[in-house]
Amino acid sequence: MEDLKLMKNDSFLKYIWNKYDLENEVNKSDKNKFLLSCAHYIPYDIVRFSNEKIDICITFLRNLKELYNSNTSSDFFKHCYNIYYWLYYEIKDDINSDKYINSIFEASTEIAKERNKGDNCSDSDLYKDWEETEKLVMLHIFNNNIDDIQEILNKECDSNRISCKKFVKKCVDLYTSMQHYLIQSCKNSNSIIEKTCLAVKTFKEKYEELYSNQKIENEFPALSSYTPIIITDDCPKEKSKSDEASLVQNNQSDQASTVHSNKSDGSIIQSVPRALGLMAGIPPLLVLIYKVNIILIQKF
């Protein structure tokens, strides 16, 4: 089976992050607000010689703060979850990833207090079993962003369509490898198993919702079919600017050749009387042969 993991620069993930401005560069104002918190909570051995790791923490706190200060209510949790999923993909390959992410969570506690307890979308349990976290985050991204997935796939030509289809394929493959969770009661004493069980069941429901769309149904198989998903680009390729320029140049060249040819034919016709005028004294048979040749030249 192919690698089911996603890289942080995955095109579909980038599309989701950009919807929430999650990757806007850290500026001076951001540092003034959040640098001290990040420097206080993140151990020195993690961030030394790495401004990037501090910037990741600052970006996370900035986006969380902006969300809590906004009046967003309809998609608050979707937005909030995506901030946490973004953070996971930013640091998942770090050798101290679990220690690193927990220190960032600690730095965010003051910001979280600004919202009601029921609005807090942080979920530290999700990151306790790092091997399981990768699977859970992928399924959660699918479940929480199903409307964006449907929107992309419903368009015949979208720059994110192929990357979105690849993401769905990875999720389907992941679901296939985790079906044993479907027999769980989802009331297991182990919180990570319970969360995984719920994520798998929710994925099944969301995928069937996606599959019920007749237009999308033709591109993805039913979960019960075990049919492999083939990724194809059905969008007609647009001609590049160089191709269009070449086409224009060829057309202009053809037009120029036609004009030149017409001028050449005219010069032949105009030269006939003069040529005949110089034939005084030539036998009539030779003159007749010459005329026939001229007529043939004009026709062909």
Residue 14 has pLDDT above 90, yes or no: yes
Same domain, 106 and 6: yes
Q: What residue has token string 């200060």?
A: 69
Q: Are residues 87 and 136 in the same domain?
A: no
Provide the number of structural domains found in the chain. 3
- From 75, 96, 122, give the residue that closes a domain: 122
Token look-up 């429901």 returns 205
Is there a single domain that holds both residue 264 and residue 153?
no
Q: Which of 251, 248, 276, 136 is nearest to 192 (CA)?
A: 136
Q: What is the pLDDT of residues 186-205, one digit of tens each?
A: 777 777 788 888 899 999 99
pLDDT in tens, 266-296: 444 444 444 444 444 555 544 445 444 545 4
CA-CA distances (angstroms) from residue 237 to 12, 243, 250? 20, 12, 21
Give the structural domain span for 269.
241-299
For 210-255, what is each residue's pLDDT tens digit? 988 877 877 888 898 877 777 877 666 654 444 445 444 555 555 5
252 versus 115: the higher-pLDDT residue is 115
Place of tokens 């501090």: 54
Q: CA 254, CA 264: separation in Å to the nearest integer?
A: 15
8 & 32 share domain: yes
pLDDT band, residue 26 (cuts 50/70/90): very high
Three-state DSSP class for 2?
coil
Q: Are 107 and 144 contained in the same domain? A: no
Task: Single out the residue in 238, 253, 285 at which a domain terminates.
Answer: 238
Average pLDDT over residues 170-199: 83
pLDDT (tens digit per residue) in 55-103:
999 999 999 999 988 876 678 889 999 999 999 999 988 888 888 999 9
Q: For every residue of 132-147, which 3-state class applies, written as one string? A: HHHHHHHHHHHHHCHH
Over residues 107-136, the mean pLDDT reads: 78
Residues 5 and 118 in one domain: yes
The answer to whether 231 touches 220, Cβ cutoff 8 Å, is: no
Beta carbons within 8 Å of 179's beta carbon, 6+ residues apart: 200
241: its two tokens = 């600017």
> Is the same domain home to 219 and 141?
yes
CB 63 within 8 A of CB 21: yes
Whether 292 and 224 share a structural domain: no
> Does the pLDDT of residue 172 top 90, yes or no?
yes
- Report the helix count and the strand count for the chain, using DSSP H and E: 14, 0
Same domain, 232 and 187: yes
Report the C-alpha gap between 21 and 169 in whole angstroms: 26
CB 34, CB 61: distance < 8 Å: yes
Tell me, yes or no, whether 44 and 82 share the same domain.
Answer: yes
Torsion region of 212: left, alpha or beta (phi above 0 gives left; psi -120 to 50 gives alpha):
alpha
Query: What is the model's pLDDT at position 196?
Result: 86
Same structural domain, 85 and 157: no
Last residue of a domain, one of 61, 90, 122: 122
